[in-house]
Structure 1
Amino acid sequence: MSLKLADYERQAKQATMAFWGNREKARQKQIEAGNIDQGERAGVTAGKNMDGFIALIVDLVEQNGLGHAELHQTSAVVTLPGYFRPTKKWDLLVINEGRLVAAVELKSQVGPSFGNNFNNRTEEAIGTAHDFWTAYREGSLGNQPKPFLGWLMMVEDEPRSRSPVRDRSPHFPVFPEFQGASYLKRYDLLCERLVKENLYTAAALLASPRSASTTGEFTGLSELTSLKTFVTTLAGHIAAEAARS
């Protein structure tokens, strides 16, 4: 099976430039309007910062044999049933012949509040996947093959996200791999374990500095959590679905 990867490296650089550029545009727009959000919130309220990565995923789907599939991106049509809650909205759904082929969520975190945000993102990612697979087991999607579940995270690459972090656990020790680990390393471990525990089919971590608004620069921390692994895994899943239909 020959997979097409949609020139993902070039597209990812463009998506990264758009991510930082859109944040700055949103911030400037609020300054001009005299309505400034606290801290980094000014850069995220526009809500379109990760659209370049959605476009990359859409191209992967189309190039690997599902150009005819339903690709849902708007808020009104990206909802799936849950088990512990009624519904959950995703960033992108791929549906083919009534089957859910893929559901993808894209998140980002920009400093300075890495600690609280890391915990929130971790709880969201684990809870979302557990809810989804429990609902799937209970027949929420009907009798169909397991879909691809994807989680992609963009984190600002800066000294605070790469610095060692201390934890307090007065009664029992923290696992060794987390001791002194930076927030980027913690995200890398999170993505790795989300996949190894079968919560997500693929989970990618991208680290990018603010200067990437002009360069598109981003890096990964490990092969398992790299963008390449994410896109090749997704492309393979899409090609398999295309062969089935």
Structure 2
Amino acid sequence: MALDLVDYEQKACDAVKAFWGNREAARQKQIESGKADQGERAGVTGGKNMDGFLALVLDVIKANGLAHAEIHQNRAMLTLPGYFRPTKLWDLLVIYKGELIAAIELKSHVGPSFSNNFNNRTEEAIGTAHDLWTAYREEAFGKQPRPFVGWLMMVEDAPESRRPVRDSSPHFPVFEEFKGASYLTRYDLLCQRLVQEQLYTTAAVIAAERSAVDTGNFTELSSMTSLKTFVSALAGHIAAGAARLG
């Protein structure tokens, strides 16, 4: 089965440019209105930062056989039932012939604060997946094959995200691989383990400097958490669903 990866590298570069460009545009708009938020929040409240990555995911879905599926992007149509809570809001849902084909989360993390936000992102990712798979087990989506569940993270490539981090664990030692690991390395380990524990079909992390607003350049941390792995897995799942459901 030939998969169409939709020139994902160029589209990812465009998405990185848009990410930083949209953040700056949102910040400037708030400054001009006289209502600027504190610190980095001014670049977040525009809400369009990950739209380029969303467009890339949409292209993969449409190019691999499910352009005619229900592809939901509007907030009112993005909730799924949970098991530990009534509902969960996703960033993209694909439904075809009453079957949940894919549910995807798109996240970002920009400095200067990495410590608390990393922990929050970690807890959120684990909880979201555990809730979904428990709901799936209880047939919240009916009897169907496992959907594609994806998590894509864009992190600022900065001295703060690459600096070794010390941890305090007075009672028991932390796992060796976390000792002195930077936040970028921790995100890479998180994504690897989210997949190894079958919490996500695939999880990816990419890093880009603010100067990438001009170049679109980004860095990947490992082959397991690379954008190509994410795109390939999504394309394969979509193509298989299209072939199975007709």
Give the TM-score range, shorter chain.
over 0.9
Partner in structure 2 of residue 6 of structure 1 = 6
Task: Give the whole-Å Cα distance in 1 for the aligned partners of 2:217 and 2:41.
Answer: 23
In structure 1, the partner of 2:144 is 144
SS of the aligned residue for 1:169 comes to coil
User: Secondary structure of 1:46's partner?
Assistant: coil
1 CA distance for matches of 2:47 and 2:85?
A: 24
Give the partner amino acid of 1:216: G
**TM-score where L is the length of structure 2:** 0.99
Please give the secondary structure, in 2, of the residue aligned with 1:142.
coil
Question: Structure 1 residue 19: deviation in Å?
Answer: 0.3
Using the TM superposition, give the Cα deviation of residue 6 of structure 1 relative to its aligned residue in structure 2, in angstroms: 0.7
Q: Which residue does the alignment assign to 1:163? A: 163
- State the secondary structure of the residue aligned to 1:136: helix
Whole-Å separation in 2 of the counterparts to 1:31 and 1:72? 33
Give distance in 1, aligned partners of 2:111 and 2:241: 39
- The RMSD of aligned alpha carbons is 0.5
How big is the shift at 1:155? 0.3
Question: Which amino acid is the alignment partner of residue 47 of structure 1?
Answer: G
Q: Secondary structure at the match of 1:180?
A: coil
Q: Any stretches of 5+ residues in structure 2 without a counterpart?
A: none
Q: Distance in 2 between matches of 1:158 and 1:58?
A: 29
Aligned equivalent of 2:154: 154
Q: Distance in 2 between matches of 1:199 and 1:41?
A: 29
| 2:200 alignment partner in structure 1 | 200
**What are the superposed Cα offsets for residues 44-98 of structure 1, whole Å, 9 maximum, x if unpaired?**
0011100111111111111101111011001000100000000000000011111
Matches within 5 A, 1:1-245: 1-245=1-245
**Equivalent position SS for 2:53:** helix
Q: Distance in 2 between matches of 1:153 and 1:227?
A: 10
Counterpart of 2:164, as a letter, is P
Distance in structure 2 (CA, Å) of the matches to 1:228 and 1:85: 33
1:183 Cα offset (Å): 0.2
Report how far residue 38 of structure 1 moved. 1.3
Structure 1 residues without counterparts, runs of 5 or longer = none
Once the 2 structures are TM-superposed, how far is the Cα of residue 39 of structure 1 from its aligned partner? 1.3
Identity value in percent:
73
Q: Which amino acid aligns with 2:44?
A: V
Aligned length: 245
Instruction: State the distance in 1 between where 2:71 and 2:215 align.
Output: 29
Q: Helix, strand or coil: the match of 2:187?
A: helix
Q: Per the alignment, in what secondary structure is the counterpart of residue 36 of structure 1?
A: coil
SS at match of 2:222: coil
1-structure distance, mates of 2:38, 2:186: 26
| 3-state SS of paired residue (1:112) | coil
Secondary structure of 1:126's counterpart equals: helix
Give the whole-Å Cα distance in 2 for the aligned partners of 1:160 and 1:68.
44
SS at match of 2:219: coil
| C-alpha distance in 1 between matches for 2:188 and 2:150 | 15
1:65 partner SS: helix
Q: Secondary structure in 2 aligned to 1:199?
A: coil
Q: 1: distance between equivalents of 2:105 and 2:118?
A: 16
Distance 1:97 1:217 in 2: 39
